[in-house]
Structure 1
Amino acid sequence: MTSEPINLDAALGSFQEFWSPRIVTKINDYDVRIAKVQGEFVWHAHDDTDEFFLVLDGELTISLPDSSVLLRRGDVFVVPRGVQHRPSSADGASILMFEPTGTVNTGDHDGDMPAHVASTAGRAL
């Protein structure tokens, strides 16, 4: 990556797509990713890794099989490995995630992919 600091506001301002995470840096074998989100993602799970979410701006709801969790700016939540979940944001949000390098954001989802969702292991900033 780079030896210079990365300003997350500037990084988020460098792209417009929703549900298309950008890799801002790496730590050990993990990507630090940011994304803009709006609307609903897809139901999915990650069998081999937990998924860490930090809300930078807005509100994010994470639906789980039997409940949902509302995250506001500054809130963090970890979805345990293997747990089905669907993030969504009615009014839009910006999030930061830690995921092992190479983890595909749509996990085990094997149905139709909505046009607004990019299935990716993250894109360079």
Structure 2
Amino acid sequence: MTGDVVDLAQKFGGFSDHWRPRVAAQLNGQDVRLVKMQGVFPWHSHAEAEEMFLVWKGRFRVEFRDRVETLEPGQFIVVPRGVEHRTAADEEAEVMIFEPSEVINTGDAPTSDFTAPSGQTI
């Protein structure tokens, strides 16, 4: 994966399930994960890591306990470590996530159908 050109349209076209991030690249202990989202994800936080969400296609929101941020294609947000949040998309959105490789997508939330297998690549 390192040193190879990544075609995002091709990579996103390679899967159809929601809430199951795929690792498209790794750098400096970080994953570049691709995920399709639709619906509402559980509330959670990551005590030891920030997360960056970059919208590739669709409309996506990050809900915090005190506000909601809606993102359009080409926009991103960084969720600070330890901050409770949930993500949501009324219609399918394609999003890139940048976070440490060891981060579990559901953070401190109980294991559920939303908990993705780790290290799944595309």
State the TM-score, normalizing by the size of structure 2: 0.94
Residues 53 and 60 (structure 1 numbering): CA distance in 2 closer, same or farther, change over 3 Å?
A: same
2:78 partner letter: V
Q: Structure 1 segments of 4 or more deviating over 6 A?
A: none
Partners of 2:97 and 2:90 lie apart in 1 by 19
Which structure 2 residues correspond to residues 39-50 of structure 1 after superposition, within 5 A? Answer: 39-50=39-50
Helix, strand or coil for the counterpart of 1:124?
coil
What is the aligned-residue identity percentage?
36
Mapping 1:20-99, distance limit 5 Å: 20-99=20-99
State the alpha-carbon separation in 2 of the partners of residues 19 and 26 from structure 1: 19
Match of 1:118 in 2: 115
Whole-angstrom distance in 2 between the partners of 1:5 and 1:51? 23
* Paired letter, 2:68: S
What is the number of equivalent residue pairs in this alignment?
Answer: 122
What is the root-mean-square deviation of aligned Cα atoms in Å?
A: 1.3
Q: Deviations over 1:16-70 (max 9, x none)?
A: 1100000001111101001000001110000001110000011111110111100
Q: Distance in 1 between matches of 2:4 and 2:119?
A: 21
- Gaps in structure 1 of 5+ consecutive residues: none
Aligned twin of 2:102 = 102
Aligned partner letter, 1:67: R
Aligned-partner Cα distance in 2 for 1:77–1:4: 26
Q: Which stretches in structure 2 are left out of the alignment for 5+ residues?
A: none
Look up the SS of the partner of 2:59 in the other structure: strand
Q: Name the stretch that deviates more: 29-38 or 1-10.
A: 1-10
Which amino acid counterpart does residue 89 of structure 2 have in structure 1?
A: S
- Write the distance in 2 (CA, Å) between the matches of 1:23 and 1:81: 21
Structure-2 separation of matches of 1:13 and 1:122:
19
| Paired residues of 2:52 and 2:97 also in contact (CA < 8 A) | yes
> Following the alignment from structure 2 to structure 1, what is the Cα–Cα distance between the partners of residues 76 and 14?
24
